[in-house]
Amino acid sequence: MEIAKKMEKIWVVNGIEHKLIVDPDAFLSEVLREQMHLVGTKVGCAKGQCGACSVILDGKVVRACITKARRIEDYANITTIEGLGTPQNLHPLQVAWVANGAAQCGFCSPGFIMSAKGLLDQNPKPTREEVRDWFQKHKNVCRCTGYIPLVDSVMDAAKVLRGEMTLDINHNFPADGNIFNSRAPRPSGVAKVTGQWAFGDDQKLQLPADTLHLAIVEARVSHANIKGIDVSEALKVEGVHSVITAKDIKGKNRITGLITFPTNKGDGWDRPILCDEKVFQYGDAIALVAATSEKIAREAAELVKVDLEVLPAYMNAPAAMAEDAIEIHPGTPNTYYKQGLVKGDDPEPFFNSADCVVAEGSYYTQRQPHLPIEPDVGFAMYDEDGILRIYSKSIGLYLHLYMIAPGLGVEPDKIALIQLPTGGTFGYKFSPTMEALVGAATMATGRPCHLHYNYAQQQYYTGKRSPFWTTGKVAADKKTGKIKGTQHEWIVDHGPYSEFGDLLTLRGAQYFMAGYGIPNMRAVGHCVCTNHGWGSAFRGYGSPEIMFPSEVLLDELALKGGWDPLELRYVNCYRPGDTTPTGQVPDSFMYPEMIDILRPKYKEALANAKRHSSDTLKKGVGVAFGIYGAGLDGPDSAGADVELNADGTITIFNTWQDHGQGSDLGTLCFAHEALRPLGIPASKLKIVLNDTSKCPNSGPAGGSRSNVLVGNAIINGCKQLVEAMRKPDGTFRTYDEMVKDGLKTKYNGTWTQPANDCDPDTGQGNPFANYMYGLFMAEVTVDTTTGKTQVDKMTLVEDIGTLTNRQTVDGQNWGGLAQGVGLALTEDFEDIKKHSSLAGAGVPYIKDIPDVMELIYVDSPREHGPFGGSGVGEVPLCGPHPAIINAIANATGGAFVRHLPAYPEKVLAAIKELGK
């Protein structure tokens, strides 16, 4: 018999003495969360890299996930977020976090707030730089906010604590109560900053005692045939309930990839729920162990033996396209979708014309990892009506329902999907991840089943940004700089699963040279199946991948033609009479005005760069456009219900899924504005979001579509209700009068965007009703001895129509720009081992992100936007990386890094190349 030795500890937790029996090797985070149920302390990386678990131990900020219980002395004082403030009595740091919109998804918030408390206890009057140094030292990472509002909040809280200012959470709430187009804070703020917003792993501890915990039996190779699975040893482990394999799945055991175009050579049914015949990528789920705890399930999963015939693994597109490569999905060629672009005349004559300057180059954008701080999580259970309810971080609840139901073998009306409070997705949850796994486990066991990925699994078994390999050519009139024609070819490495691969490939036609009125364009793109991580949506979805070659190529053209890069853009940008690459009339023509706004700042930045460069520290300035359509292609639509309640309140129902961008606040803003005739205060509006059994289909929260699509649907529903309530004399019926007059009290609002699909051969069409436009400027310092680049400042001039909420939009932009810095310089998921942690994959810490990111919005209400608004979520990530690469080239006299990320060695190589 093995004796499980424990230890007695007496700790003072949040001011109260607790006698605890602990496992000496347990981490403080485990004791706090699992034994004391203090789930305000979040665990992200569990490796000491993200600071989500920061608490104060005897006056020092520590990361609880790497602090062993045995090392903590008796009578140690431990303060967690629960001991800092309560919803009724918030600490000034928590107040500032809410008032400044610093909690987006909120997963990092408790850790940051505890870390900041540790700083202010020591230094009541820190400078901004000292705050940044502190968060850097304590490894606090935020993936949503770009860090600026977090530093603002610490500075504000410090002033409050010093008695120099007062602040309450409604500091930014408009005096007239009209929240649309204001800086009102989001309703979920208080729950987030007190650690009470219960994420999926927090909810695990609240599930009934008969819940089973799952672990995945993972593929540890990238391509193989499965010859047999032996689960006998795993089943012998005490606490193991069952091991689920493909044989236990009732349906077709496939998740459909939803083919968009008939020209796709695959059928979309290529992703197994549990691998049956083949392994297609590292980390693939081969079986699930269900046990009484996650620990037991994980240990037993290691005992499952899988007999594999290992096959050659094609880890990038060129390898999978080689002539001797076998088909990854037998029967479907590895290159399975082709997209063309044919606009105007053949541009070839311009490439050979003496009147034109021609530039060309080959570029690569990497497999960027999303790096949310919260790893993937979810669970399933049967309710009393026999409905299989699946809870996850899904940002496409209805979409995923239809993608997984046939594979599981369950009728769509017998399954419901519900979104959990979500700690960021940045698009990876546009793909189903574990929904079908927890669903299959509950169907096989009849019990609630919970699954929690560790951070390595988050990295290798959720989708990534698909790498693009692009070659492009552009010809411009020698005298005027006017672009005459372009040609490009792009190859998409989409990993083994086809989902949305054809749609992603189309983006390569829609956004190459978007923003410029170019008459003649030719291009072809291919989508390729490989054995590296599967491709899923990532903020910008195709645009950052293709605008990188496009916007860097433009700077290469400027250098060759002797033009200033900003002025070359001014000459060519959209003006009335121009059309987009797909032949559509743009919905806004603000670029000339945006360039006029930026020009003086650009000139000043160039002058500064010249003035402050030294022999080895070279400063440079780069600009770029970034554009994205706010919607899914074609006649995309959304629904939202609006109901008048007996007590006079009004409830809005929709599935505007919340990554952290703030669908709660967005819903309230639109509803309040549309219901203004009723004079109802925002406090009388209720929201019911993100449960397919209660809310209509609002479509996925991807393509920055929700502000436009769901916003318009909410307005439509509210207008229907207002009209029904209106009496002939202009006053409004009460609930009782509506019932008496036989009128409905619940209305379904809908909206469909006026758009049509692009053609797979020519790429021509009017795919979106609303676009978002950005003009980016990066100021950088390049150390020419090490190749290291520091981004000193970002400026973004943006045209996104009317703002629904200024604080939300600022937060979206700072966060997106920060991810652009990572895309340009540090982030990748290429080496499966090295890149399977947050730090290993190059997540930007606070000192990697500039503290100055200036945002300027132009006034340009949209015809088809809700109260004039377009989207915002993705546009800030469409152009920062080419602006940074162009700035590096500007600093170094033309060293263009064409292969991302621009690691120091690549910058040095590009500088060396210049000398040749």
- State how far the Cα of 636 lies from the Cα of 657, in Å rounded to an integer: 16
What DSSP character marks residue 533?
S
The neighbour count for residue 187, using CB atoms within 10 Å, is: 17
Residue 812 binds which entry of ligand MCN, ligand FES, none, CB below 5-8 Å type-dependent: ligand MCN
Considering only residues 139 through 198, tell me which ones interact with ligand MCN, judged by CB under 6 A.
144
Among residues 652, 914, 888, the alpha carbon closest in space to that of 787 is found at: 888
Is 108 an interacting residue with respect to ligand FES (CB under 6 A)?
yes
Q: Which amino acid is at 419?
A: Q
Q: DSSP letters of 684-734?
A: GEEEEESBTTTS-----S-TT-HHHHHHHHHHHHHHHHHHHHB-TTS-B--
**Token reading at 419:** 């979104």
Say whether residue 185 binds ligand FES (CB under 6 A): no
Q: Which one of ligand MCN, ligand FES, none is in contact with 65 (Cβ closer than 5 to 8 A by kind)? A: ligand FES
804 binds, among ligand MCN, ligand FES, none (CB under 5 to 8 A by kind): ligand MCN
Q: How far apart are CA 648 and CA 365, in angstroms?
A: 53
Contact segment (CB under 6 A) with ligand FES among 6-14, 139-147, 173-181, 798-806 equals 139-147
Binders of ligand MCN in range 840-879 (CB under 6 A): 869-874
Q: Does 43 bind ligand FES (CB under 6 A)?
A: yes
- The binder of ligand FES chosen from 143, 186, 793, 835 (CB under 6 A): 143
Return the one option of ligand MCN, ligand FES, none that residue 763 interacts with (CB less than 5 to 8 A, by type). none
Strands (E), 312-458: 335-343, 356-365, 377-382, 388-392, 415-419, 449-452
Q: Which two tokens stand for residue 214?
A: 């799952």
Instruction: Select from 36, 61, 62, 65 the one that contacts ligand FES (CB under 6 A).
Output: 65
- 111 vs 629, beta carbon nearer ligand FES: 111
702 binds ligand MCN (CB under 6 A): yes
CB of 143 to ligand MCN, least distance (A): 7
Q: Please tell me whether residue 820 binds ligand MCN under the rule CB under 6 A.
A: no
> For 453, what's the count of Cα atoms within 13 Å in the CB-facing half-sphere?
28
Is 118 a binder of ligand FES (CB under 6 A)? no
Residue 654, amino acid? N
Told to check if 231 binds ligand FES by CB under 6 A, we report: no
Interface with ligand FES (CB under 6 A), residue total: 25
DSSP secondary structure of 610-658: HHH--SSEEEEEEEEEEEEESS-SSS-EEEEEEEE-TTS-EEEEE----
Q: Is there a catalytic annotation at residue 299? A: no
The residue with tokens 């060759």 is 560
Nearest approach, Cβ of residue 527 and ligand MCN (Å): 20
Quote the CA–CA distance of 687 and 665 in Å, as a whole number: 10
The one of ligand FES, ligand MCN, none whose footprint includes residue 513, by CB under 5 to 8 A per kind, is none
Q: Which stretch binds ligand FES (CB under 6 A): 48-56, 204-212, 602-610, 777-785?
A: 48-56
Contacting residue, 365, 766, 805, 890, with ligand MCN by CB under 6 A: 805
Residue 803 binds to ligand MCN (criterion: CB under 6 A): yes
**Is the CB of 112 or the CB of 563 nearer to ligand FES?**
112
What's the min distance (Å) between Cβ of 818 and ligand MCN? 11
Q: Is 425 in the site for ligand MCN (CB under 6 A)?
A: yes
Tell me the residue type at 56. Answer: I
| Tokens 């190059």, located at residue | 842
What radius of gyration do the chain's Cα atoms show? 27
User: Closer CB to ligand FES, residue 143 or residue 400?
Assistant: 143
103 binds ligand FES (CB under 6 A): yes
Q: Are β-strands 520-528 and 483-493 bridged in parallel, bridged antiparallel, or unpaired? A: parallel
CB neighbours (10 Å) of residue 360?
Answer: 16
46 binds ligand FES (CB under 6 A): yes
Q: For residue 480, what are its two tokens?
A: 């005027």
- Does 378 help bind ligand MCN (rule: CB under 6 A)? no
Q: Specify the stretch interacting with ligand MCN by CB under 6 A; choose among 262-270, 361-369, 419-427, 685-693.
A: 419-427
Before 901, cis peptide (omega within 30)? Answer: yes
Q: Are 451 and 438 in contact (CB under 8 A)?
A: yes
Give the number of other Cβ atoms within 10 Å of residue 812's Cβ. 30
Per the DSSP assignment, residues forming a β-bridge with 254 are: 272
If one asks whether residue 809 binds ligand MCN (CB under 6 A), the answer comes out as yes
Contact between 427 and ligand MCN by CB under 6 A: the answer reads yes
Q: With CA atoms as reference, report the closest residue to 250 among 444, 534, 41.
A: 444
Tokens representing residue 492 in the block: 């998409």
Contact window for ligand MCN (CB under 6 A) among 56-64, 262-270, 517-525, 700-708: 700-708
Q: What is the length of the chain?
A: 916
CA distance 719 to 715: 6
The reply on whether position 63 binds ligand FES by CB under 6 A is yes
**Residue among 254 and 539 whose Cβ is closer to ligand FES:** 539
Q: Which is nearer to ligand MCN, 29 or 100 (CB)?
A: 100
Q: If contact means CB under 5 to 8 A according to the sort of partner, which of ligand MCN, ligand FES, none does residue 808 touch?
A: ligand MCN
Residue burial 412-421, b: 16+ Cβ < 10 Å; e: rest: eeebbbbbbb
- CA–CA dist 768, 758 (Å, integer): 10
Minimum CB distance to ligand FES, residue 106 (Å): 6
Nearest residue by C-beta to ligand MCN?
A: 873
CA gap 404, 410 in Å, rounded: 9
Rounded distance between C-alpha atoms, residue 687 and residue 316, angstroms? 45
Q: Which of 106, 257 has the CB closer to ligand FES?
A: 106
Minimum CB–partner distance for residue 640 and ligand FES (Å): 25
Residue 845, helix vs strand vs coil: coil
| Displacement of CA 66 from its chain's centroid (Å) | 27
Rounded to a whole number of angstroms, the minimum distance from the CB of residue 425 to ligand MCN is: 4
- For residue 104, state whether it binds ligand FES (rule: CB under 6 A): yes
> Under rule CB under 6 A, how many of the chain's residues touch ligand MCN?
36
Binding string, 581-600, against ligand MCN, x = CB under 6 A?
A: --------------------
CA distances from 339 to 79, 490, 524 (A): 57, 9, 6
Choosing from 218, 874, 905, 913, the catalytic residue is 874
The answer to whether 399 contacts ligand FES (rule: CB under 6 A) is: no
CB 65 within 8 A of CB 43: yes
User: CA triplet 803, 804, 810: central angle to 5 degrees?
Assistant: 60
Report which residue type is found at 883. A
The answer to whether residue 801 forms part of the interface with ligand MCN (CB under 6 A) is yes
55, 57, 61, 105: residue in contact with ligand MCN (rule CB under 6 A): 105
Burial class, 146, CB count within 10 angstroms (exposed 0-12 / middle 13-18 / buried 19+): buried
* Residue placing its CB nearer to ligand FES in the complex, 142 or 642: 142
704 binds ligand MCN (CB under 6 A): yes
Give least dist CB 652 to ligand MCN, A: 13
Q: Strand, helix or coil at 21? A: strand
Nearer to ligand MCN, 144 or 621 (CB): 144
Q: Select 46 or 777, whichever has its Cβ closest to ligand FES.
A: 46
Q: Which does 51 bind (CB under 5 to 8 A by kind): ligand MCN, ligand FES, none?
A: ligand FES
By a kind-dependent CB cut-off of 5 to 8 A, residue 425 interacts, out of ligand MCN, ligand FES, none, with: ligand MCN
Positions annotated as catalytic residues are: 874
Residues in touch with ligand MCN (CB under 6 A)? 104-105, 144, 424-427, 539, 659-663, 666, 701-707, 800-801, 803-805, 808-809, 812, 815, 869-874
Residues in touch with ligand FES (CB under 6 A)? 43-46, 48-53, 63, 65, 103-108, 142-145, 373, 424, 660
